């Protein structure tokens, strides 16, 4: 089983398959000459801008009920109201009691609802996502000096699908620097796309350094996806608290990446084992996923 084939595990160990119809479509887009020609159009920034404008408008409101039905979203978990547009619904807030934040200071929490894999950063500053290798410096827009600080550390990749909760939080108390935005070509972050494109080098992304109280200096990067032109971070330089909302993604599936320095964290055993087998683990906003290394 491979995460790239849509195989993921819950923390209970149950294996599930998600988005089979989407996977078939993506294989056609990325696996054929005609599909790749269509992608050249779909991934253009102007197309993403037009799609975003439509999703912000009242014209997109009729899409909401259909999306709820097709995705099987449990609306009882969310603060529901009369949404004016699809994007308002897409960035809906969850009821706080549905995502309790683990408050133990030494526990590392997930910043979001997602499918998680974790990788060791090698001495050459590259990490492997499915069958492709990615340089940390590439992710950081060529910042080799910063990338070298994370040699021997851990890269955690949180992949959000369209039916996930699309807000994300800070993983600890601390303070952050300003955000660095890197413009890119927007491609889907679905693992199938990794077979042909180096997704995390091509996509628009934004990163910052989190100076945390318990996990050292952590790089958090948000990566945009196809039809996602806006990564909405709330703060520039800012003092933050564990579980405080950091930002949100607008329409589409997206990704959060965390980089940890060497000997800072211990990943929970089930997540580490799944990652070694190429299987993603379902995690929730505020849930424990590891601990501080003592």
Tens of pLDDT, residues 137-172: 888 888 999 999 999 999 999 988 888 999 999 999
pTM above 0.75, yes or no: yes
Active site residue 254: yes
User: What residues contact residue 187 under an 8 Å CB cut-off, 6+ apart?
Assistant: 39, 43, 193, 197, 199, 202, 203, 225, 226
Supply the range of the domain harboring residue 163: 1-294
* pLDDT tens digit sequence for 229-256: 578 999 999 999 999 999 999 876 688 9
Q: From CA 152, how far away is CA 261, in angstroms rounded? A: 7
Task: Look at residue 21 and tell me whether its pLDDT is greater than 90.
Answer: no
Is residue 3 pLDDT above 60, yes or no? Answer: no
- The CA distance from 135 to 126, in Å, is 4
Domain count, the chain: 1
Count of beta carbons in the 10 Å neighbourhood of residue 112: 29
List all residues 6 or more positions away from 69 whose beta carbon is below 8 Å from its beta carbon: none
Q: What's the mean pLDDT in 195-219?
A: 82
Which residue among the candidates 125, 254, 268, 275 is catalytic per the annotation?
254
Evaluate if residue 23 carries a pLDDT over 60: no
Candidate list 110, 113, 135, 164, residue with the active-site label: 113
Quick check: is 217 catalytic? no
114 or 12, higher pLDDT: 114
Lateral strand order in the sheet of 231-233: 167-169, 245-249, 231-233
| Rounded CA separation 19/163 (Å) | 10
């Amino acid at each position: 089983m491979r995460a790239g084939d849509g195989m993921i595990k819950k923390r209970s160990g149950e294996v599930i398959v998600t988005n089979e119809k989407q996977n078939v479509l993506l294989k056609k887009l990325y696996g054929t000459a005609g599909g790749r020609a269509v992608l050249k159009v779909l991934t253009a920034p102007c197309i993403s801008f037009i799609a975003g404008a439509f999703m912000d408008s009242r014209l997109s409101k009729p899409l909401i009920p259909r999306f709820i039905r097709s995705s099987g979203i449990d609306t009882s978990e969310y603060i529901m109201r009369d949404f004016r547009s699809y994007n308002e619904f897409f960035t809906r807030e969850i009821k706080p009691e549905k995502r309790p934040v683990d408050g133990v200071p030494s526990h590392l929490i997930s910043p979001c609802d997602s499918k998680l894999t974790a990788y060791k950063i090698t001495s050459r500053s590259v990490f492997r996502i499915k069958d492709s290798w990615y340089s940390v410096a590439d992710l950081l827009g060529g910042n080799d000096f910063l990338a070298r600080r994370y040699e021997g550390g851990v890269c955690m990749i949180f992949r959000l699908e369209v039916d996930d909760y699309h807000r994300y939080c800070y993983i600890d108390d601390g303070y952050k620097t300003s955000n660095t935005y890197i413009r890119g070509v927007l491609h889907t972050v679905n693992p199938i796309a990794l077979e042909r494109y180096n997704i995390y080098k091509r996509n628009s992304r934004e990163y910052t350094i989190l100076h945390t109280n318990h996990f050292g200096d952590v790089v958090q990067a948000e990566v945009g996806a196809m039809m996602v032109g806006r990564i909405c971070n709330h703060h520039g330089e800012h003092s933050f608290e564990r579980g405080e909302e950091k930002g949100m993604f607008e329409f589409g599936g997206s990704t959060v990446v965390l980089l940890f320095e060497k000997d800072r964290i211990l990943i929970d055993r089930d997540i580490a084992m799944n990652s070694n087998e190429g299987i993603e683990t379902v995690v929730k906003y505020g849930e424990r996923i590891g601990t501080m290394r003592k």
